[in-house]
Amino acid sequence: MTIGEIDIKDYFDQETLEALEKAFLEFDTSGDGSIGKDELRDLFAKLGKTLTKKQVDAIVREIDSDGNGEIDFEELCYLEIVMSGARPQAHLIDFKTFLPEKTIKQLEQWFSLNDMDDSGKISIDDALKIAEQQDVKVSMDDVTALLSEVKSAADGWLDLPSFCALWTCMTNAQKIINYREYLEAEEVAAYRAMFQEACEGGKEELNRKQVSDVLRNTGLVRVRRHLTRIWEEMAIDKKTMLDFAQFCVVIVRLMKRRKYREVNPQTCTCAGLYEEGFTVKELLMSGFKLKDFEAIRIPARKLYQDGGFSALELRRVGYTATDLRRAGLGIVELRSCGFSLSELRTAGFSAAGLAEAN
């Protein structure tokens, strides 16, 4: 976990943040929004934590992301999270920024199966049974603490958002990192070329050793333990294969990058990002949907091959039989997803093919 991927509002409520800021401002005697090493020692002494000069030096090296030798308020909050072992709070997080869409859909299914009366709620006991069935390891003390954070749990029941938030915390889910919010377009292009050059046999993935070699050869890894810690935090073992997105996340964490922009449907247009060079996978990662892709007429071939969309999904949003034939789909698959013989004929399929499909 690095400062770049932390949203302090996931960890601290407004009251706690105000208290931390008050303590910070008390020692920011210059008023420039940062404190030095001596001030940091004094601040922690006031909080009842004694740190040696050597410890402070190590702390500053670890969390001073901009390298100026001082700590700003966000870095102080990060330090407090690390030193106190704090975790994201169930009532503060947006679970959608932690859980992949596939996981959320699975949770929705489990929730629905246990919502026998369609009340929009399931019991806490049912939620814990689901966790047990999925081999989620969590102590009862942690469960009690988590439930105390979820308002709807007070009466013994959970709605879907509360269940998903609880699941996020019980499984120690890591916040999803959209690397396009941290890396410039030119950097992404350079890293993509680097990644593809290292791939072997037409595969679009690398194992941990290959990634380590690439990063060391380019000078991005200077201290071995930094990379070792990232492997541990991301639960990447020697057999794990990393795709390009995971490769970029490793780089973001290694470089302790801070987010320089927000990339989502509220802040950007699908057309603008596509023009910038975003792939279909990167657009999906940024929150855009199939209907957005159809609106700017991204070729069906890219959506089928890179986005994993089915012929039926593409047909439903408006792609024609001609579009899908150009994408490489066969007549039988197009017929099976509802295209008429007339549409297939217009797409250019032969009479013999039409007879076979019929």
Confidence check: pLDDT of 4 > 60? no
SS3 state of residue 92:
coil
Report yes or no on 266 lying in a domain. no
Quote the number of domains for the chain: 4
Say how many C-beta atoms besides its own lie within 10 A of residue 235's C-beta. Answer: 9
Report yes or no on 260 lying in a domain. no
Q: Are residues 219 and 166 in the same domain?
A: no
The per-residue pLDDT for range 180-215, each reduced to its tens digit, is: 999 999 999 999 999 999 999 888 999 999 999 999
> Which of 106, 139, 170 is the last residue before a domain boundary?
170
How many Å apart are CA 135 and CA 159, to the nearest integer?
A: 22
Q: What is the mean pLDDT of the chain?
A: 88
How many Å apart are CA 247 and CA 189, to the nearest integer?
A: 13
Report yes or no on 102 lying in a domain. yes
Looking at mean pLDDT, say which of 164-178, 261-275, 344-358 comes out highest. 261-275
* Distance separating the N- and C-terminal Cα atoms of the chain: 56
Cα dihedral 46, 51, 56, 58 sign: negative
Query: Which H helix or E strand runs over 140?
Result: helix 140-149
Report yes or no on 19 lying in a domain. yes
Say how many C-beta atoms besides its own lie within 10 A of residue 228's C-beta. Answer: 11
- Cβ proximity of 172 and 253 under 8 Å: no
How many Å apart are CA 291 and CA 318, to the nearest integer?
A: 9
For 81-84, which contacts have Cβ atoms below 8 Å and span 24 or more sequence positions? 81/6, 81/8, 81/11, 82/1, 83/49
334 or 355, which is more confident: 334
SS3 state of residue 220:
coil
Residue count of the chain: 358
Domain with 135 in it: 95-170
Q: Are residues 104 and 133 in the same domain?
A: yes
Report yes or no on 269 lying in a domain. no
SS3 state of residue 139:
coil
> Which of 170, 191, 206 is the last residue before a domain boundary?
170
For 33, list phi and psi in degrees, rounded to 5: 85, 15
Q: Are residues 161 and 218 in the same domain?
A: no
How many Å apart are CA 133 and CA 142, to the nearest integer?
A: 18
Check residue 257 and give left, alpha or beta (phi > 0: left; psi -120 to 50: alpha). beta
The per-residue pLDDT for range 115-138, each reduced to its tens digit, is: 999 999 999 999 999 999 999 988
How many Å apart are CA 199 and CA 274, to the nearest integer?
A: 25
Helices (H) and strands (E) in the chain, counts: 21, 6
- Cβ proximity of 209 and 240 under 8 Å: no
For 349, list phi and psi in degrees, rounded to 5: -75, 150
The per-residue pLDDT for range 35-45, each reduced to its tens digit, is: 888 888 888 78
What residue type is 343 in one-letter code?
E
The per-residue pLDDT for range 255-269, each reduced to its tens digit, is: 878 889 999 999 999
Write the burial class of residue 106 (CB in 10 Å: 0-12 exposed, 13-18 middle, 19+ buried): middle
| Beta strand spans in the chain (E) | 34-35, 71-72, 121-123, 157-159, 206-207, 241-242
Q: Are residues 238 and 310 in the same domain?
A: no
Report yes or no on 265 lying in a domain. no
For 277, list phi and psi in degrees, rounded to 5: 115, 10
Q: Which CATH number is 61's domain given?
A: 1.10.238.10
Residues of the chain with pLDDT > 70, as a percent, come to 96
Pairing between β-strand 206-207 and β-strand 241-242 as defined by DSSP bridges: antiparallel
Confidence check: pLDDT of 234 > 70? yes
The per-residue pLDDT for range 68-109, each reduced to its tens digit, is: 678 888 888 888 887 777 889 999 999 998 898 889 999 999
> Which of 60, 84, 108 is the last residue before a domain boundary?
84
Structure confidence at residue 18 as a pLDDT band (50, 70, 90): very high
Q: What's the pLDDT score for residue 65?
A: 60
pTM score, whole prediction: 0.72
How many Å apart are CA 337 and CA 332, to the nearest integer?
A: 9
Which is nearest to 65 in space by CA: 255, 261, 260, 224?
Answer: 255
Q: Are residues 214 and 239 in the same domain?
A: yes
Report yes or no on 261 lying in a domain. no
DSSP 52-74: -HHHHHHHHHHH-TT-SS-EEHH
Structure confidence at residue 32 as a pLDDT band (50, 70, 90): confident
How many Å apart are CA 236 and CA 173, to the nearest integer?
A: 14
